Structure 1
Amino acid sequence: MSLQEKLTALKAHAEGTLLPPDVVEILHRATDELIASGAQDRALKAGDKAPVFTLPDADGNQVSSTELLKQGPLVVTFYRGVWCPYCNLDLEAQEEARAELEARGASLVAISQQNAVNSRKSHRQNNLGFPILVDQGGETGAAFGVRWNLPDYLQAVHKKLGADLTAFNGEDSWTLPMPARYVIDQNGIIAYAEVNADYTKRPEPSDLFAVLDQLKTQGAA
């Protein structure tokens, strides 16, 4: 089953069984409004220069995009947090593809605004072999153009569902990154970008194989 098939099944189960209709309506409204705002179209795209970042991993070690790019291309994934089941499926899918991505010379990092404790939980829960980086306040997400502000009515639903971002993220900005996947080449240029304002939709990790193969071919030329 593909990642998107798993996500679609999860959405059908959540909206058909787990969530009250009024909550489903509010979640749809928020997604529709974010899409209509054009936020995903303003995020960085393939061909743009990627922001340079240094962020702590879940254990407090500083991870530098500049240093990682010296080793090869960098796959960067922005996700919402350990409380998001769609994000957890996404992380699991990347872990399943990690060996093939690394065989193509790539390093992987995931970035969220959640605090170190919850990042460690994400790492452990999803059995990840790549680091989760802590982007407190979402400054790196903002540099990529993926950070957005949750409206008041959505904040209330998050609290009702047990996903109070002030607790998970350790700050009260009530911002999140739109789910996003980037491949950055060794010159710091974005070679692949997929950003979606609909958090139930994510690209397949296998989509990156051809991108990395092409970068390898270009590097050998």
Structure 2
Amino acid sequence: MTNALRLSDLPHECRDTTPEWTSVYDAFVAKLRDGAVAATAPKNGETFPDFCLPDAFGHYRSLAELVADGPIVLSFNRGGWCSACRGELSAWGERREVLAAAGGRLVTITGEVGGRAAQLLDLVGPEATILCDIDHGLALAVGLAFRCDAHLQARYLACGLDLADIYGGNGWILPVPATFVIDRDQSVRFAFADPDFRIRADPDEVFAIVSAIG
């Protein structure tokens, strides 16, 4: 079974240990699992669909271009507002030299607007590529997006979190955080997608896959 980097493994400031929120998230994740959210996401051995998205500086980048020089680690995340995503991206930033030595590069995708995507470079380092998935179009296309229910919407708004402002739309869509290793031929060599945003791929396992590609 694939290993996972759990929220409990992250630095203390990256954890949300409030019992009230834990119960809210547990209930919502159970709904996502019942609905088989992310079940149709690209799998190991499949070809990842080509795409073309703007990077944090407005330049459009295609998947074919991104993998031309070697394998990439493609990471879907919810954005800098999410403590689990910040923790994961910080972990990648701390390991960026290890990833480079293995022959890979990090490409992370977020639906955030208003310049927020560029701020993620502070976490992952300037070598990484940040792509902007406007309206979560790519996440929806590959089966990695879902709509927040009314209860979660109300809870987020009550604590001052307005996803409409963060993502620039009123759809209340969130992506499932996911990690893929994609080879030069756009084949998926590693795939990890869990409806529970508190569980992430283990970087060490990813490094091993990237190194094996060579």
* TM-score above 0.5: yes
Matches within 5 A, 1:179-198: 179-198=177-196
Match of 1:91 among 77, 89, 92: 89
AA at the equivalent of 1:27: Y
Q: State whether residues 69 and 185 of structure 1, in contact with CA within 8 Å, keep that contact through their aligned partners in structure 2.
A: yes
**Corresponding pairs, count:** 209
Q: State whether residues 177 and 193 of structure 2, in contact with CA within 8 Å, keep that contact through their aligned partners in structure 1.
A: yes
Partner-residue secondary structure (3-state), 1:80: coil
Identity of aligned residues (%): 29
**Per-residue Cα deviation, 1:52-98 (whole angstroms, up to 9, x for no partner):** 11111122122221112110011100001111010000001111222
* Match in the other structure for 1:6: 9
Match of 1:39 among 13, 37, 41: 37
Q: Please, what is the CA RMSD of the aligned residues? A: 2.0
Instruction: Supply the distance in 1 between the matched residues of 2:90 and 2:185 (Cα, whole angstroms).
Output: 28
Partner-residue secondary structure (3-state), 1:40: coil
Structure 2 vs 1, CA of residues 9 and 197 (structure 1 numbering), >3 Å: closer, same or farther? farther
Instruction: Supply the distance in 2 between the matched residues of 1:196 and 1:32 (Cα, whole angstroms).
Output: 12
AA at the equivalent of 2:125: L
Match of 1:68 among 55, 66, 69: 66
Partner-residue secondary structure (3-state), 1:39: coil
* Match in the other structure for 2:101: 103
Instruction: Supply the distance in 2 between the matched residues of 1:70 and 1:185 (Cα, whole angstroms).
Output: 9
Matches within 5 A, 1:1-221: 3-4=5-6, 5-7=8-10, 14-16=17-19, 21=20, 23-124=21-122, 126=123, 128-129=125-126, 130-216=128-214
Partner-residue secondary structure (3-state), 1:176: strand
Task: Name the structure with the higher helix share.
Answer: 1
- Structure 1: stretches of 5+ with no match in the other structure: 217-221
AA at the equivalent of 1:14: T
**Per-residue Cα deviation, 1:182-219 (whole angstroms, up to 9, x for no partner):** 00111111110000111111112111122112212xxx
Instruction: Supply the distance in 1 between the matched residues of 2:37 and 2:68 (Cα, whole angstroms).
Output: 31
AA at the equivalent of 1:128: G
Instruction: Supply the distance in 1 between the matched residues of 2:147 and 2:38 (Cα, whole angstroms).
Output: 13
Q: State whether residues 96 and 125 of structure 2, in contact with CA within 8 Å, keep that contact through their aligned partners in structure 1.
A: no
Residue 24 of structure 1: CA displacement?
Answer: 3.7
Instruction: Supply the distance in 2 between the matched residues of 1:114 and 1:171 (Cα, whole angstroms).
Output: 10
Partner-residue secondary structure (3-state), 2:154: helix
AA at the equivalent of 1:75: V
Q: State whether residues 97 and 206 of structure 1, in contact with CA within 8 Å, keep that contact through their aligned partners in structure 2.
A: no
- Structure 2: stretches of 5+ with no match in the other structure: none
